[in-house]
Amino acid sequence: MIGKDWLVTDEGECKNFDATNQIEDLHPYRLYRFLTDLEDILDQISDDYLRLQKICPLVHRLLDSSSWLEIALLDPDPATGWAVQTLYDEPFFPLTVQLVAWAPGTVSPIHNHGCWGLVALLSGQEKNTFWQRSPNPAFPDKIKTKGDILLAPGDVLCLMPDAIHHVEAIGDEPTISFNLYGETDYDRRFEFDPIQGSANNF
């Protein structure tokens, strides 16, 4: 599944992401190898932008080799409109790997992640709207919209730690995505209210 790669900066700018070319390999690229490669990247590279440049091609490679991810049975919860299936989360290991499903029409809160992140869309269509901080003396947490993008299957969206966005599932079918996050800094993770001009840790 080939799509486009995007990067959202801390300032809310979404741009084409020129990720490092992946190496062709005839062997299946399994989840445990992917996790080992991720650990090596995290040990060797401290810059989040450069990390994402290296990780993005590995995600494409994993998804090309792991058809089981695309047929995973994950249905959004009717009460919340979304569901999460954790694929990997080990104590004291700074990575979270998930499948996330959104019901059609469901809209997430406006938020950042407080860490680098990556979302690879497996099915459905997902609109991401990006926001930029726009503080003033009365509202130091005020934000304004910066733009949006519609993700299709095969697209990968990379997020810097302070990138602010919200997600909406578009169309008549649920969206399912492969999500990968680094170690969250909860002091930097917020939900935003653009009407009140406020931000709250979560």
pLDDT of 49 reads 96
Instruction: Supply the pLDDT for residue 1.
Output: 60
CATH of the domain at 86: 2.60.120.10
Domain membership flag for residue 199:
no
3-state secondary structure the chain: CCCCEEEECCCCCEEECCCCCCCCCCCCCCHHHHHHHHHHHHHHCCCHHHHHHHHHHHHHHHHHHCHHHHCCCCCCCCCCCEEEEEEECCCCCCCEEEEEEECCCCECCEECCCCCEEEEEEECEEEEEEEEECCCCCCCCCEEEEEEEEECCCCEEEECCCCEEEEEEECCCCEEEEEEECCCCHHHCEEEECCCCEEEEC
Which residues span the domain enclosing 72?
5-184
In a domain? residue 198: no
pLDDT at 9: 96
- Residue 191 belongs to a domain: no
Q: Does some domain include residue 201?
A: no
Asked if the structure places residue 76 within a domain, the reply is yes
Per-run averaged pLDDT (10 residues), the chain, 202 residues: 88 88 74 95 96 96 86 86 92 91 96 95 96 91 95 96 96 95 86 86 80
Name the pTM for this structure. 0.92
Q: Please give the tally of structural domains in the chain.
A: 1
